[in-house]
Amino acid sequence: MEEKLLLEKIHDLKKRLRFVWIVNGALEWCLAGTLVTLLLVLALKLLDRPPAELTAATVALLLFPIGGAVAAGMRKMPLMSVALATDRKLGLRERLTTGLEWSLSDRPRTVVAQSLLRDASQHAAEVDPKKTFKPTIPTSLRKAFIVGLATLVVLALPAWHLFQPGQSAEEARIVKQASQRLERTARELRQRYPRSQQAKATAQKLEDLAQRLKEPGTERDEAAARVASLSEQLRSQARGQGQGNQQGGQGAGTTADNPRNQAERLRALARRAQKEGASKELQQAIEKELARTDKQSEQGKALSKAQQSAGQGDNKGTQEELEKAAAQAEQQAAEEQQMGEEVAQELQETESGLSQEMAQGNNPSQGKQPGQGQGQGQKPMANPGQANQPGQGEAKEGDFGVGTTNEQQKPGEGQKKDYVLERQAKDQQQWTEEYKRLYASERIHRETADARARGQLTPGQMLPAPGQVRGAPRSDPGVGGGAEEVYLDYKREAEEAVTRQNVPAEYRDVVRDYFDGIDPREK
- Residues near another protein (CB under 8 A) are 17, 20-21, 24-25, 28, 72, 77, 80-82, 84-85, 88-89, 93-95, 97-99, 101-102, 110-116, 119-120, 133, 136, 138, 501-505, 507
Q: Quick one: 67 or 384, whose CB is closer to another protein?
A: 67
We find the least distance from the C-beta atom of residue 129 to another protein, in angstroms, to be: 12
Q: Quick one: 34 or 97, whose CB is closer to another protein?
A: 97
The rounded distance, in Å, linking the Cα atoms of 303 and 294 is 10
We find the least distance from the C-beta atom of residue 491 to another protein, in angstroms, to be: 20
Reported residue count of the chain is: 523
- Burial of residue 181, with CB atoms counted within 10 A of its CB: 0-12 exposed, 13-18 middle, 19 or more buried: buried
Q: Quick one: 110 or 312, whose CB is closer to another protein?
A: 110
Please give the distance of CA 309 from its chain centroid, rounded to a whole number. 64
Q: Quick one: 86 or 406, whose CB is closer to another protein?
A: 86
CA distances from 64 to 33, 59, 253, 512 (A): 5, 9, 68, 70
The rounded distance, in Å, linking the Cα atoms of 342 and 378 is 21
CB–CB of 259/339 below 8 Å? Answer: no
We find the least distance from the C-beta atom of residue 85 to another protein, in angstroms, to be: 4
The rounded distance, in Å, linking the Cα atoms of 327 and 260 is 10
**H helix runs in 215-297, sequence order:** 220-238, 242-252, 259-276, 280-291
- How many CB atoms are closer than 10 A to CB 220? 22
The rounded distance, in Å, linking the Cα atoms of 391 and 379 is 5
Q: Quick one: 79 or 155, whose CB is closer to another protein?
A: 79
- For 31, half-sphere exposure in the C-beta direction (CA atoms, 13 angstrom radius) is 13
- For 10, the 3-state DSSP assignment is helix
Please give the distance of CA 278 from its chain centroid, rounded to a whole number. 68
We find the least distance from the C-beta atom of residue 216 to another protein, in angstroms, to be: 45
We find the least distance from the C-beta atom of residue 75 to another protein, in angstroms, to be: 8
Q: What is the CA radius of gyration of the chain?
A: 45
Three-state SS string over 6-63 comes to: HHHHHHHHHHHHHHHHHHHHHHHHHHHHHHHHHHHHHHHHHCCCCHHHHHHHCHHHHH
Q: Quick one: 112 or 457, whose CB is closer to another protein?
A: 112
The rounded distance, in Å, linking the Cα atoms of 503 and 490 is 17
Q: Quick one: 21 or 400, whose CB is closer to another protein?
A: 21
Q: Assign residue 375 a region: left if phi > 0, alpha if psi is -120 to 50, beta otherwise?
A: left
We find the least distance from the C-beta atom of residue 98 to another protein, in angstroms, to be: 4
We find the least distance from the C-beta atom of residue 8 to another protein, in angstroms, to be: 19
We find the least distance from the C-beta atom of residue 141 to another protein, in angstroms, to be: 12
Q: Quick one: 94 or 221, whose CB is closer to another protein?
A: 94
Q: Quick one: 133 or 193, whose CB is closer to another protein?
A: 133
We find the least distance from the C-beta atom of residue 61 to another protein, in angstroms, to be: 22
